[in-house]
Amino acid sequence: MNPDSRTRVFLTGAAGNWGRKVLEEFRQRADRFEVIALVLPTGRDREVIRRYEDMENLEVIFDDLTDYQDVERCVRRAYYLLHIGAVGICLRGGFGRSLR
């Protein structure tokens, strides 16, 4: 399958418990999905995500959910958003108000 025909998913919380399970599922479906994973740039999260270095369908972005512009760029690149990160971007910049 052409990599350009895969469905692109933006995943937050990729280094957490649920995030790791989700990554394992996407690893099994590399022919159908491309994953953009937002990962905190902490030592622990970098160590966790290193386990997935061999995933050819994974792009890791080291940042956090409070960076509105970076999150928005990732969202715009994806067809689906799986938000399982622990912190919401609505905390900063009045983002929550803009959704109403």
Segment 31-41, tens digit of pLDDT: 999 999 999 99
Burial class (CB in 10 A: 0-12, 13-18, 19+), 86: exposed
User: Given pLDDT bands bounded at 50, 70 and 90, which one contains residue 13?
Assistant: very high
Q: Which residue has the higher pLDDT, 94 or 84?
A: 84
| CB-based burial, 55-71: b 16+ in 10 Å, e otherwise | bebbebbebbbeeeebb
User: Given pLDDT bands bounded at 50, 70 and 90, which one contains residue 64?
Assistant: confident
CB 68 within 8 A of CB 97: no
User: Given pLDDT bands bounded at 50, 70 and 90, which one contains residue 65?
Assistant: confident
Taken in order of first residue, the domains within the chain and their CATH numbers are 3-98 (3.40.50.720)
Query: How many Å from the N-terminal Cα to the C-terminal Cα in the chain?
Result: 40
CA atoms lying within 13 Å on the CB side of residue 64: 11
